Structure 1
Amino acid sequence: MAERYELFLGTNKQYYFRLVAPNNEIILQSEGYVSLQGAENGIASCKTHSPYDKYYRRLTNARNAPYFTLIASNGKVIGVSEAYSSSQAREKGIDAVKRYGPSAQVVRRAA
């Protein structure tokens, strides 16, 4: 299956999206949105900002594992990656979001 944004309603009644690569790996996940329109706007923002390196923040978690966030022009987080085993693996994740984010189709899914 091709790259896609999966849009779904969580068990907490909030809407989420995730960017999924062609190999079915989740490469970016959103935070919860109270409305479907909010989640759709998040996807649109992801499509707009994902090609540009300046919108990525390279971070490490409490266990010192690298991960990244994609932020919007206003500084708000659009999505968060998984924790990676190395900085090089994180860069590959960023490259995947840059490659697939702008053109991925939106698919509505059950949670």
Structure 2
Amino acid sequence: MAGKFELYKDKAGEFRFRLKAGNGEVVGTSEGYKAKASAENGIASVMKNAGDEGRYDFKEGKNGKWYFNLKASNGQVILSSQGYADESGAKAGTGAVGRAAVGAKTDDQT
């Protein structure tokens, strides 16, 4: 089941988006963008790159949790994950991003 992107403005006035799985769980969030069009380009980039395993970068945080970033072809981070208990959980999380992004609609809350 396809997920959805929620496009919103944060408290600082920047545009951000989060990707939610079909069950409503947030599977990734974006950085802040000054322009709405830039955030919309970020959404398009997530849709394009989510299925490419080579675009994910895995890291262990200082808190011991594992995270991943999805990067565009230019190396820019376009989506960051929540924390996972271990690296295998983070790697499984990339599958949730891929499934959610395919055919996802955008819910513009701006």
TM-score range, shorter chain: over 0.9
In the superposition, the TM-score normalised over structure 1's length comes to 0.92
For residue 67 of structure 1, what is the aligned residue in structure 2? 67
Structure 2: tracts of 5 or more residues without a match: none
- The aligned residue for residue 82 of structure 1 is 82
How far is 1:2 from its partner?
Answer: 5.4
Map of 1:94 onto structure 2: 94
RMSD of equivalent CA atoms: 1.5
Q: Could you tell me whether the CA contact under 8 Å between 2:69 and 2:78 is conserved in 1? A: yes
- Secondary structure of 1:96's partner? helix
Alpha-carbon distance in structure 2 between the residues aligned to 1:37 and 1:106: 13
Matched to 2:20, the amino acid is V
Letter in 1 for 2:17: F
Stretches of structure 1 that go unaligned for 5 or more consecutive residues are none
Other structure's SS at 1:92 match: helix
Matches within 5 A, 1:45-60: 45-60=45-60
- Report SS of the residue matched to 1:78: strand
**Would you say how many aligned residue pairs link Structure 1 and Structure 2?**
110
| 8 Å contact from structure 1 (residues 3, 19) kept in 2 | yes
Following superposition, which runs of at least 4 residues in structure 1 exceed 4 angstroms of deviation? none
TM-score of the superposed pair, with normalisation by structure 2? 0.93
Work out whether residues 46 and 102 of structure 1, in 8 Å CA contact, stay in contact via their aligned partners in 2: no
Cα contact 1:5–1:43 (8 A) shared by 2: yes
The DSSP-based 3-state class of the residue aligned with 2:93 is helix
Distance in 1 (CA, whole Å) between partners of 2:107 and 2:41 is: 14
Partner deviation per Cα, 1:82-102 (whole Å, 9 max, x = no partner): 011122221221111111213
- How much does 1:29 deviate? 0.2
In structure 1, what is the Cα distance between the partners aligned to 2:35 and 2:19?
18
